[in-house]
Amino acid sequence: MTQASYSCAMSPDHVDVLIIGAGLSGVGAGYHLQHYCPSKTYAILEARADIGGTWDLFRYPGIRSDSDMYTLGYRFKPWEDAKAIADGPSILEYVKETARENGIDSKIRFNHRVVRAEWSSDEAQWTVTAERGDDGDTVTVTAGFLFMCTGYYHYSEPYTPEFPGSERFAGTIVHPQHWSDEIAYADKRVVVIGSGATAVTLVPAMAKQAAHVTMLQRSPTYIISLPGEDPIAKVARRFLSSKAAYAVLRWKNVLAQAAFFQLSRRRPRFVKGLLRRGAERQLPAGYPVDPHFRPRYDPWDQRVCLVPDGDLFAALSDGSASIETDEIETFTETGLKLKSGKELDADVVVTATGLNLLALGGTQLAVDGDEVDIPQTVGYKGMMLSGVPNMALSLGYTNASWTLKCDLTCEYACRLINHMDAGGYRQATPRLAPGTPTQPFIDLKSGYVERALDRFPKQGVHAPWRLYQNYARDILTLRHGAIEDGVLEFSNPKPVAKPAEPLAA
């Protein structure tokens, strides 16, 4: 379908579908609506002043993807850059280009932070309240269907634990989520606190300019090195069209990720050994691998961190960076004192201590006058909530690239909207049978997940309430599975137009 054939008719205050969030997911949702529901009007409300979400917010040195772009990219738009593990600005440009090429950018209303959405069954629509700008001015938009593409974490409040003595420290303390170009670190002594994806990205990137970078971790993380440029991509692109090469690379990586995840869950000792030998091979002889690269948990109990071309190991090997596995006793005026008694001098301390998870971008929901208590809801197919009508959530995988799931969620949401139209229904609500067993929504033992689980929906133990985190299975369910499954309740038929009264003689 071409852009010209897409209906642009949109009243300022009512749309058929309202997307919240203009990140990777929101732009993808706009694309799918245009292509699969071309008669539907839609708008995107975005809290920030620009497109891109995560890829616009995070500006710290070295910001990059930690999964490959053949699976983090949209299914419909080949990733053509040579780098499979891409830098943040390139990913941001990819999202912006998608929005531009498809006219999605013209649907976005920036500086609109959605705070509340109320469903009325009588009117069969959502009334959505958004704060505009900083002056508390609010606007309302009504919509037949809500598509929440708000990501999964708090944008303004990252997670920073209280560190004793931090007020005494004379240098700079910054969380990566608040990084700005004004933070000078060339020739300075840097300590990065943390061991997750952000820390392992920051350390080699900052080590290029800093006097020295120390990664201070309380406990280690599993780290795997992969080529930044995929050698198979070069071959595939030589012999295949861009689209065909992308499909091949995407499936290759989907299968490789799934195989690695399954192997980690079924043969954790084998995978532990594999990862350890990988680290040993890339570090100088005699390097203390054990304290620094031997996590207390099994691979994929928490996310495995990816480093492109072994850049972290290279920085550790050439001495521009080092690791301390220890705990902070206190900040001092000049750095950090550790529980072992060791002191680390620092000019800049980067607290790569993680995110604060946030469900639905902080939006309060009400259905027919009743407030929705999010932790009491259960995810349906990982993309709707029990008892909440006409609302889809774009939430990606934790064990594979985010966009793989979000693309499928969009396809399903479009199928659902078309199915409702064909059946003349105005309302689709996942109905949970009383007594259905539940479990936490996210199956990872990471601190940032465990801190937030009581504020997130639950999942069930069987389909359609269980989150399988399995792309192949989701293709069958979301792309090809029946929409009517006896759990999703269709109701609220469109009122039949009354025949015109015959004129009196």
Ligand X SMILES: Cc1cc2nc3c(=O)[nH]c(=O)nc-3n(C[C@H](O)[C@H](O)[C@H](O)COP(=O)(O)OP(=O)(O)OC[C@H]3O[C@@H](n4cnc5c(N)ncnc54)[C@H](O)[C@@H]3O)c2cc1C
At its nearest, how many Å lie between ligand X and the CB of residue 91? 8
> Is 114 a binder of ligand X (CB under 6 A)?
yes
> Is 409 a binder of ligand X (CB under 6 A)?
no
Closer residue to ligand X in complex, CB, 217/253: 253
> Is 402 a binder of ligand X (CB under 6 A)?
yes
Residue ranges in 281-340 that form contacts with ligand X under rule CB under 6 A: none
> Is 113 a binder of ligand X (CB under 6 A)?
yes
> Is 394 a binder of ligand X (CB under 6 A)?
yes
Q: How far apart are CA 3 and CA 242, in angstroms?
A: 22
Closer residue to ligand X in complex, CB, 22/43: 22
Residue owning tokens 């419909």: 76
Angle, alpha carbons 251-257-262 (nearest 5°): 125
* Candidate list 17, 22, 213, 391; residue touching ligand X; CB under 6 A: 22
Closer residue to ligand X in complex, CB, 121/142: 142
Beta strands in 292-424 (DSSP E): 305-308, 321-325, 328-331, 335-338, 343-345, 348-351, 364-367, 370-371, 379-380, 384-385, 391-393
* Region from 21-29, 225-233, 321-329, 425-433 binding ligand X, contact rule CB under 6 A: 21-29
At its nearest, how many Å lie between ligand X and the CB of residue 502? 51
Crossing angle for the helix pair 402-423 and 24-36, to the nearest 10 degrees = 30
> Is 440 a binder of ligand X (CB under 6 A)?
no
At its nearest, how many Å lie between ligand X and the CB of residue 115? 7
Q: How far apart are CA 81 and CA 396, in angstroms?
A: 23
Q: Is residue 380 helix, strand or coil?
A: strand
> Is 20 a binder of ligand X (CB under 6 A)?
yes
Residue ranges in 125-164 that form contacts with ligand X under rule CB under 6 A: 149-151, 155
Measuring CA to CA, how many Å separate 299 from each of 46, 266, 308, 375? 36, 10, 19, 28
- Which structure tokens are listed for 422? 């064909």
At its nearest, how many Å lie between ligand X and the CB of residue 75? 14
Q: How far apart are CA 102 and CA 90, in angstroms?
A: 18
- Which structure tokens are listed for 191? 């300590």
What is the contact mask toward ligand X in residues 47 to 86, using x (rule: CB under 6 A)? xx----xx---x------xxx----x--------------
Cis peptide before 464 (omega within 30 of 0): yes
* Region from 239-247, 312-320, 360-368, 453-461 binding ligand X, contact rule CB under 6 A: 360-368
* Candidate list 125, 217, 401, 477; residue touching ligand X; CB under 6 A: 401
Q: How far apart are CA 340 and CA 356, in angstroms?
A: 29
Beta strands in 184-301 (DSSP E): 189-193, 212-217, 223-226
> Binders of ligand X: how many residues, by CB under 6 A?
33
Q: Which residues contact ligand X by CB under 6 A?
A: 20-26, 45-48, 53-54, 58, 65-67, 72, 112-114, 149-151, 155, 198, 361-363, 394, 396, 401-402
